[in-house]
C-alpha cells in the first residue's frame, strides 16, 4: 500500500512516522515544495522517496494533505482530479469549512475524508516530526456521511491504530469550537510576545526575569506564521468573534484593576479557576 | 539556627524544603492563619513546629514572609517591631514597591531584605510545595544597599546555596518589568479561561477538542485568586499600562483579520517569533 504525504512537516511527518511503526510494509512518498524538506524527510526515514505531486498521487492508495490550509485549498481540486479510483484523500488542516466546501463541489467528494488531528507543537518542518505526536490525542472527522464507506473505514482504522480517539462533527461546528480552544490561544500568545518584546526592548531583562509561567503562556508565539495566517484568515468570522469576547474580558479586568475593585477581581479569577477541572481532564490523556 | 516561615504555602514551603536539605540542623517554625496548613506542613516535614506569629518571630534568626502581598503589607510593621536584634526578615512577594516603602519607614529597615524568587506553579498550599521549585531559578533582590551587610550576606548565601541566580534592581524597576514578564501572562490566562468557559458552556467540548497548546496557554488560569488579586492591585499602574498595550495589539490583530490583511498578519507573527530566542534561553536554565 502506498501513502503520499503532501507537505512533509510536523503533522505530515509525525503521521508518517507513527503509521510506519505499525505498518512497516507501507510505502511512503513525500511531496514538498521545498527540496530541502524532501531531503530531510528521506534522511530521517519519514518517506521512502520524493516525487512531484501528480506522479505521487497517481500511485497512491492514500493521499495525505498536510500543507498550510491555503495550499490545501489551492491543490485539493487538482489532487482530486488525479486521484485513482478506489483511492482516498484526507487533509489534516486546522480549518474545515472552506476546505469541505471545495471538496463538496468535486465529483470525487466521496473519496475525501476531512480530518483534523488535535495535536501540534510550536515547531515546524520535518525536523520537528516525531512518532509520539499523535498517539493519545483526539482526531476530529467532519461530514463523515459524505465519504464512502471504504475510505472512511480506512481512515478510522489507521488513526485508531496509532492510538487516536475519534470525534465527529460538522465543519461549521469544528471551526466554531476551534476558534475558542485553539485559534484564540495562538493569537493571545502572539500578542503577548509582541507586547513583551515591544516594551522590554532589552531582551536580557526578559531572559533574566521571566520564569516558566511566562514561558508556557507565550510558547505558542514561536509558531509558524505561514501555517497560522491562513488559518486565522479562513476562520476569520469565528476568530474575530472570539477575539472580541477576549478583548472584552481583558477590558473588564483592566477596569476592575483601575478602580481597585478587589471583590470583582477575585470573582473573575475564581470563575476562571473552573478551567482546572477541564485542563486536568485534558492532561490525563 | 531558627527560621520562621510565615505562610507555609507553595513558596514558603518549597523554600523550607530546599534549605532543609542543605541545612539539616536548621530548625523551622511555621506560622499560618490556617490550622490545616500548619498540620499539613508538619506532616510533610516542611516545618518542625507551628507557633503563633509573635512567639515564632521572637525566637528566629531568619523570618520569611511568604503570604499574599496584602498580608505582607499588613504584618510587616508588627513583625519588624518584634524582630530580635541581629535577626533578618525577608519577604518573597511578587510586588516590591509598596512593601519596600513600608519597610523603609521602619527603624529596623536594615534588618529587612526584599527578595522575589522568580518561580512558581499554578498550585497553592503546603501540598504544592516541593524542594525542586527554587533551584536553578532566578532571585531578585531589591534595594540591597538598604539592608545591613550581615543580613544581606545571610540571604545571598542561603539562596545561592540552593542554586538560585541573583539579580539586583530597585523596587520600581522590579514592578515595572514584572508587569510585562509575569503579571500580564497571568491576566491573559485568566481572561482566556473566562472567554472559553463563557462561550463553550459545554465543558465536554473543551475537553474533547482542546490539546496541549490550549492547556499551556491557559494553565495559569488555575492560579490562586487570593494570591493574585493583591498583586495586580499593588502593581496596578504598571499592570494597567501592560494591559493597555496588550489589548492594543489584540485589537490590531483583529483589524488585520477582519480586513484579510495577510501580509500584516504574517509580519506580526514573524515579529512575535523573535521571542523564541528569549524563551530558548529561559528553558535552558
Q: Which pLDDT score, from 0 to 100, does residue B284 have?
A: 65
CB B253 to CB A243 under 8 A? yes
Residue B138 near residue B110, CB atoms below 8 Å: no
Backbone angles phi, psi at B132, to 5 degrees: -85, 0
Mean pLDDT of chain A: 94
Q: Considering only residues 44 to 103 of chain B, which have any Cβ-Cβ distance to chain A shorter than 8 Å?
A: none
Q: Which pLDDT score, from 0 to 100, does residue B213 have?
A: 76
Order across the sheet with A2-6: list the strands.
A49-50, A27-31, A2-6, A62-65, A88-91, A112-118, A138-142, A165-169
Domain boundary residue, one of A108, A135, A169: A169
What's the total number of domains in chain B? 2
Q: Which pLDDT score, from 0 to 100, does residue A206 have?
A: 75
- From chain B, pick out residues whose CB is under 8 angstroms from the CB of A242: 195, 199
Does residue B162 share a domain with residue B30? yes
Burial class for A202, CB neighbours closer than 10 Å (0-12, 13-18, 19+): exposed
Q: Considering only residues 172 to 201 of chain A, which have any Cβ-Cβ distance to chain B shorter than 8 Å?
A: 177-178, 180-182, 184-200
CA–CA dist B84, A40 (Å, integer): 67
Nearest to B46 by CA among B1, B6, B83, B80: B6
- From chain A, pick out residues whose CB is under 8 angstroms from the CB of B125: none
pLDDT tens for residues A75-86?
999 999 999 999
Q: Considering only residues 106 to 145 of chain A, which have any Cβ-Cβ distance to chain B shorter than 8 Å?
A: 118-120, 122, 137-138, 140
Does residue A188 share a domain with residue A117? no
Domain boundary residue, one of B104, B137, B169: B169
Q: Which pLDDT score, from 0 to 100, does residue A191 have?
A: 95
* CB contact B275 to A (< 8 Å): yes
pLDDT tens for residues A47-68?
999 999 999 999 999 999 999 9
State the complex-level ipTM: 0.90
Does residue B184 share a domain with residue B155? no
CB A181 to CB B196 under 8 A? yes
Rounded mean pLDDT, A131-152? 97
For every residue of A170-219, DSSP letters joined together read: -HHHHHHHHIIIIIHHHHHHHHHHHHHHHH---HHHHHHH--HHHHHHHG
CB A209 to CB B272 under 8 A? no
Q: Which pLDDT score, from 0 to 100, does residue B212 have?
A: 73
Does residue A133 share a domain with residue A218? no
Q: Report whether pLDDT(B207) > 90.
A: no
CB B184 to CB A198 under 8 A? no
CB A210 to CB B282 under 8 A? yes
CB A275 to CB B249 under 8 A? no
Query: Which of B140, B187, B262 is opposite residue A229, by nearest beta carbon?
Result: B262
List the beta bridge partners of residue B219. none
What is the CATH number for A32?
3.40.50.720
Does residue A183 share a domain with residue A153? no
Does residue A110 share a domain with residue A214? no
Query: Which of A194, A220, A246 is opposite residue B191, by nearest beta carbon?
Result: A246
Query: Which of A181, A190, A250 is opposite residue B247, by nearest beta carbon?
Result: A250
Mean pLDDT of chain B: 94
Does residue A68 share a domain with residue A51? yes
pLDDT tens for residues B109-150?
999 999 999 999 889 999 999 999 999 999 999 999 999 999
What is the CATH number for A268?
1.10.3660.10
- From chain A, pick out residues whose CB is under 8 angstroms from the CB of B228: 269
Q: Which pLDDT score, from 0 to 100, does residue A204 have?
A: 74
pLDDT tens for residues B80-112?
999 999 999 999 999 999 999 999 999 999 999
CB B242 to CB A195 under 8 A? yes
Task: Dihedral sign for Cα A140, A144, A147, A151, please.
Answer: positive
How big is chain B by its Cα radius of gyration, in Å? 21
Interface test with B, best of A218, A220, A249 (most B CBs within 10 A): A218
Does residue A6 share a domain with residue A102? yes
Query: Which of B215, B225, B272 is opposite residue A282, by nearest beta carbon?
Result: B215
Least confident of A237-241, B26-30, B166-170, B209-213: B209-213
Residue A253 C-alpha, separation from nearest chain B C-alpha, in angstroms: 8
CA–CA dist B13, B133 (Å, integer): 10
Q: DSSP H helical segments within chain A, as ranges?
A: 10-22, 35-43, 53-58, 69-82, 97-104, 149-161, 171-178, 184-199, 203-209, 212-218, 225-234, 236-258, 262-273, 275-283
Residue A117 C-alpha, separation from nearest chain B C-alpha, in angstroms: 10
Q: Which pLDDT score, from 0 to 100, does residue A150 have?
A: 97
Q: Report whether pLDDT(A284) > 90.
A: no
Domain containing B260 equals 174-284
Residue B69 near residue B231, CB atoms below 8 Å: yes
Residue A58 C-alpha, separation from nearest chain B C-alpha, in angstroms: 33
Q: Which pLDDT score, from 0 to 100, does residue A146 have?
A: 98
Does residue A253 share a domain with residue A238? yes
Query: Which of B167, B219, B273 is opposite residue A222, by nearest beta carbon?
Result: B273
Residue B150 C-alpha, separation from nearest chain A C-alpha, in angstroms: 26
CB B190 to CB A268 under 8 A? yes
Does residue A155 share a domain with residue A18? yes
Residue B242 C-alpha, separation from nearest chain A C-alpha, in angstroms: 8
Size of interface A-B (CB pairs under 8 A): 310
Does residue B121 share a domain with residue B213? no
Q: Which pLDDT score, from 0 to 100, does residue B187 have?
A: 95
Q: How far is CA A55 from the centre of its chain?
A: 26
Domain boundary residue, one of A138, A169, A200: A169
pTM here is 0.90
Does residue B118 share a domain with residue B62? yes
- From chain B, pick out residues whose CB is under 8 angstroms from the CB of A98: none
How big is chain A by its Cα radius of gyration, in Å? 21
- From chain B, pick out residues whose CB is under 8 angstroms from the CB of A247: 247, 250-251, 254
CB A216 to CB B214 under 8 A? no
Nearest to B82 by CA among B53, B103, B110, B102: B53
CB B182 to CB A236 under 8 A? no
* CB contact A282 to B (< 8 Å): yes
Amino acid at each position: 500500500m502506498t501513502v503520499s504525504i503532501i507537505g512533509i512537516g510536523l503533522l505530515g511527518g509525525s503521521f508518517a512516522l507513527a503509521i510506519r511503526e505499525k505498518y512497516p510494509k507501507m510505502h511512503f512518498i513525500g511531496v514538498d515544495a521545498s527540496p530541502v524538506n524532501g531531503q530531510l524527510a528521506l534522511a530521517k526515514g519519514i518517506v521512502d522517496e520524493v516525487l512531484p505531486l501528480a506522479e505521487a498521487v497517481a500511485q497512491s492508495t492514500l493521499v495525505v494533505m498536510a500543507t498550510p490550509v491555503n495550499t490545501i485549498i489551492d491543490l485539493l481540486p487538482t489532487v482530486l482530479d488525479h486521484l485513482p479510483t478506489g483511492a482516498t484523500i484526507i487533509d489534516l488542516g486546522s480549518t474545515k469549512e472552506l476546505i469541505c466546501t471545495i471538496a463538496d463541489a468535486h465529483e470525487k467528494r466521496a473519496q475525501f475524508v476531512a480530518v483534523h488531528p488535535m495535536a501540534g507543537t510550536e515547531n515546524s518542518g520535518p525536523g520537528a516530526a516525531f512518532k509520539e505526536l499523535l498517539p493519545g490525542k483526539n482526531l476530529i472527522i467532519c461530514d463523515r456521511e459524505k465519504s464512502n464507506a471504504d475510505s472512511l473505514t480506512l481512515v478510522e482504522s489507521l488513526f485508531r491504530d496509532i492510538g487516536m480517539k475519534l470525534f465527529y462533527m460538522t465543519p461549521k461546528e469544528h471551526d466554531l469550537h476551534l476558534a475558542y480552544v485553539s485559534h484564540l490561544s495562538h493569537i493571545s500568545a502572539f500578542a503577548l510576545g509582541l507586547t513583551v518584546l515591544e516594551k522590554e526592548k532589552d531582551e536580557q531583562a526578559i531572559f533574566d526575569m521571566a520564569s516558566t509561567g511566562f514561558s508556557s503562556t507565550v510558547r505558542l508565539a514561536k509558531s509558524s506564521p505561514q501555517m497560522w495566517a491562513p488559518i486565522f484568515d479562513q476562520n476569520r468570522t469565528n476568530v474575530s468573534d472570539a477575539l472580541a469576547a477576549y478583548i472584552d474580558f481583558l477590558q473588564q479586568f483592566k477596569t476592575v484593576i483601575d478602580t481597585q475593585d478587589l471583590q470583582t477581581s477575585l470573582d473573575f479569577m475564581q470563575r476562571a479557576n473552573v478551567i482546572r477541572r477541564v485542563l486536568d481532564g485534558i492532561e490525563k490523556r
